[in-house]
Structure 1
Amino acid sequence: MPEENEFYDWLSATARGHGYASDAALAEALELQQSTVSRWRKGTRPHITHLVKLGRLFRMSIEPMLVLTGHVPHDLLGNAEPPAPPTSPTVREIQEAPLPDNIKGVLLQYWDQRLNEEQARVGELLEVFKSADGSALTPAATADAFALASSDLPQHFADAMREAAHVLESVGRRTRRTGVTR
């Protein structure tokens, strides 16, 4: 097998670029156990059926992954280099900035932390809104949503929460008026 974690390093960067911030999030998207993805980090070679799932999820051919995992020798497939992980405009801007590498590292770490925080908040919001059973927020769920929105969160998050609560309340009023749920 190539370098012990070469595949996982590529997978981790690619998964993060696609919005999967953790092994658990990636495993859920692949409909696998988290322990399966975690074993890949430790050097276990993924089964080919798992590579097919990854290819579908990332919309790419599995040939580069076959080479990265050691299933197939590089020379057998010719140019089977894995695609570069997706790079956000912000990351690209940081990478291309005329700054010392250590400052770029600090900025990239800060950006990763912000993304992780925001992904966690969106996950919390999804849970609050899922509890609204598709109609309108219950008083308790509304209180939870406004508690999230009014905590010391960035203004953009609070605005998004208020807008989402407004939309859900409008749907609830229509549902109560017409008796029809969507």
Structure 2
Amino acid sequence: MLIVNQPAFNYLLENLLTGLGYPAELIISTDHLASAEKLLQQHLPNLILIDLSLDQTESIIFIQRLKKFHPDANVIVILAQHQTSLLFDAIQAGALGYIFHENTEAEMLNNIKSILRGGAPLHEVFAQYILSYPVKSNQTISSNPLNKPAHLTAIEFEILNLVATGLNLRQIAEQTSNSLYKIEGNIKSIYRKLASLKN
């Protein structure tokens, strides 16, 4: 399902999804959150792309409601690259990944593929933002007891720190002697832990 109010961008996303093997006739599109809610009562898509520029606050609430009733739905948010705090809110609401309006088609495709194979994307600025939140490795003591921290495994904490320094996920996989699949899976785990703090 595509929830996008820009026809050209909607067309681009439809092309990307059909390229991934989604039959065109099964791709549902709408440009309103209200109609999306009605459509979701009749259909249960495994992939939902939602443009947060529709209505930021309502979009976050929509994701929270959706994940409550359909916890296995793969929700990907679409937003501008500088909207880091909004992206964090979306991840806490239950989004599993994101694409930026500024991304190339190849970058969008890579992020969608990552999510569909059980992983999640992560870029430098967002890793830095997550680290500014009370997150900690299970091997350390929280320095900020007033805020409930996200308890990360040692590898999750290491991935955040390495991405924050500018390394891409392939470089991190090589440096940590892990598969790219495992690195992406750990990022998805980080996102789920952030979402659990909100619930």
TM-score normalised to the size of structure 1?
0.22
More strand by share: 2
More helix by share: 1
TM-score normalised to the size of structure 2?
0.21
Structure number with bigger Rg: 1
